Amino acid sequence: MKAEQPNTNQKSTSEYSLNESSSKLYQVKPKSNSIGRSLALVVLGAGLATTGGYWTRSMAPQQAIAQTPVINPGLAGMAATNPDFITKVVQQVGPSVVRINATKTVEAQQPEEFNNPFFQQFFGNQTQSSPRRVERGLGSGFIVSSDGQIITNAHVVDGVDTVQVSLKDGRSFTGRVLGTDPVTDVAVVKIDANNLPAVKMSNSDQVQPGEWAIAIGNPLGLDNTVTAGIVSATSRSSGEAGIPDKRVDFLQTDAAINPGNSGGPLLNQNGEVIGMNTAIRADAQGIGFAIPSNTITRIADQLAKGGKVEHAYVGIQMVALSPELKQQINSDPNNGFNVNEDQGVLVAKVMQDSPAAKAGLRSGDVIHQVNGQEVTSADQIQKIVEGSQVGNNLQVSLKRNGQDVTLDIKTESVPSQMEQNG
C-alpha cells in the first residue's frame, strides 16, 4: 500500500471511491482530480471502507495480507517505566472480547453467455435459476452487559443467516442480531448467557491525541490478537476518513488494524473502551479509524430497545467553496450553474423528493448559515443535521444569484433503501 499526502485544501469534503474485494475488505482509494472529488453526501447510505467482516466464499482458502509492521517508538519508553500496563489491560478486558463467525447465502452471478438463446437450447431451464453459495464472515465484538449483550460493526452481521459467538474461554453461543445501523456501522448482538465479563465504556469526548490506544480482536482469523499505538487524532470527519456516507466523527489511531478487527474494542491505558475499530486507509499505513464510545453507546441503546435508529435526512450533495473551486466550476460549461461566492457551502445536487427539494433548495445555492450558525464546510452541516431530530425544521440562510434567501427544511428519516444500498 502506498501512502498519499492529504489534500489539506479540501480535506473536510473529500469523496472517495469504494472498491470491494473478495474478502469484504473495502479499500478507500482517492479518485482522480475533479469537482466530484470534493462532494460530500448528506444522504447517508451504507457503504464503508471497513476493516472487514472478512468475508470469504465457502470452501475458498483465506490468504493473509502481508503488511510492513508499523513500529511506535514510544512503546519502548512506556515499557521502561511501566512494562506491564498493556499486559494488565489485556488480562482485564481480553475475556470480554469475542469472535463472531457469520454466514449468509447469496445468489451467484450467472455468466452472461447463459442468457444467450443459443445456450438455452442445450441447457433449458437449468440456465434460469441462479446458483447459490454460502459466504462466511469473521469479525470481532465486545460484551457490554453480563447477560450477553454484545456490540460489533453493522457490516459484520448485517443480512446474515447465522451468527456464532465464541468467547475466549472456549464457549460458543448462537447469537441473535437485535439491530443494525448502517449509517453509523453499529450493531447489537445478544447471546443467552449470564455472569459474563463486561467492558467499561469511557467518555470519548475526553479522549486526547497522543493517548495510548490498545486494540484487541481477531484479524485474519488470528484470535485474541493485541496491537498497540496511540490516538493519532480525534473528530476525524467521515469525509476526511474517506467514507462520506457515514455520520461519525472518528478517532484515528496508528494501532495496527486488519480485516477481522472490525467490531473489536479500542482501549485506553485504563482498559476502558474509547472506540470500536472499523476502517482503514488502503493507501496508507498506520492509519485506522474507530467509532467513538459515546456514539456507540447512543446508537446501541436505541438498537437494543427498538431494533433501529432514525437519522434526520436532508438530501443534498455539497462542497466547501474556495476561490479556486469557484473558478473551476465557472469554467466548466457542463455544470449548469455559475457560482458568485468565494466562501460558504455550495449545493451541488438536490436529491429528488428529498426534504431539501420540497423546501425549494436548488443546485448552485450557497449556504452560509444553518439555524443561525455560520457554516463553511459540508461536515459542519452534516453534524447539525445528525444532531437534529426527525421532523425538526432547519432554517437555512443562503445566497442565490447574489440574493439573500432563507428556507425552512423539515428533516425526514433516512430512506430505508439508502441504508441498505448505500
The residues with which 277 forms a beta bridge, in sequence order, are 290
pTM: 0.74
Instruction: Concatenate the DSSP letters of all residues of 48-81 into one string.
Output: --BS----EETTPPP-----PPPP-THHHHHHHH
Residue 55 lies in a domain: no
In angstroms, what CA-CA distances link 179 with 141, 167, 175, 400? 14, 21, 12, 42
pLDDT over 70 percentage in the chain: 73
pLDDT digits (tens, 9 = 90+) for 236-260: 988 788 777 788 999 999 999 988 8
Query: Which among 155, 158, 181, 202 is annotated as catalytic?
Result: 155
Of residues 51 and 310, more confidence is placed in 310
The predicted structure's pLDDT at residue 334: 81
Determine the Cα–Cα distance for residues 137 and 56; give it in Å rounded to an integer.
6
Mean pLDDT over 287-309 rounds to 94
User: Choosing from 14, 140, 238, 262, which is the catalytic residue?
Assistant: 262
262 as an active site residue: the answer is yes
CA-to-CA dists, residue 30 to 19, 85, 244, angstroms: 11, 38, 13
Do the domain assignments include residue 284?
no
Of residues 419 and 98, the one with the higher pLDDT is 98
The pLDDT tens digits of the residues spanning 347-372 come to 989 999 999 999 999 999 999 999 99
Phi, then psi, of 323 in degrees rounded to 5: -55, -35
Domain annotation covers residue 265: no
Name the catalytic one among 185, 245, 249, 379. 185
Q: Which residue segment(s) compose the domain that 374 sits in? A: 312-421
Q: Which three three-digit cell numbers place residue 335? A: 455544470
Known active-site residue 311: no
For residue 363, give the CATH number of its domain.
2.30.42.10
- Given pLDDT bands bounded at 50, 70 and 90, which one contains residue 41? very low
- Ranking 63-77, 186-200, 296-310, 374-388 by mean pLDDT, the lowest is 63-77
pLDDT in tens, 223-234: 999 999 999 999
pLDDT at res. 162: 93
pLDDT at 52: 54
> Domain total for the chain?
1
Whether 148 is covered by a domain: the verdict is: no
DSSP per-residue codes, 311-368:
-EE--EEEEE--HHHHHHHHT-TTSS-----SSSEEEEEE-TTSHHHHHT--TT-EEE
pLDDT in tens, 153-201: 999 998 899 999 999 999 999 999 999 999 999 999 999 999 999 999 9
Residue 250 lies in a domain: no
In a domain, 330, yes or no: yes
User: Hey, what's the cell of 339?
Assistant: 457560482
Known catalytic membership, residue 147: no
Residue 403 in this model has a pLDDT that exceeds 50: yes
6 Rama sector, left if φ>0, alpha if ψ -120 to 50, beta otherwise: beta
Mean pLDDT computed over 387-392: 90
Q: What angle do CA 269, 270, 271 make, to 5 degrees?
A: 95
Please report whether residue 268 resides in a domain.
no
Does 114 reside within a domain? no
Cell numbers 439491530 correspond to: 179
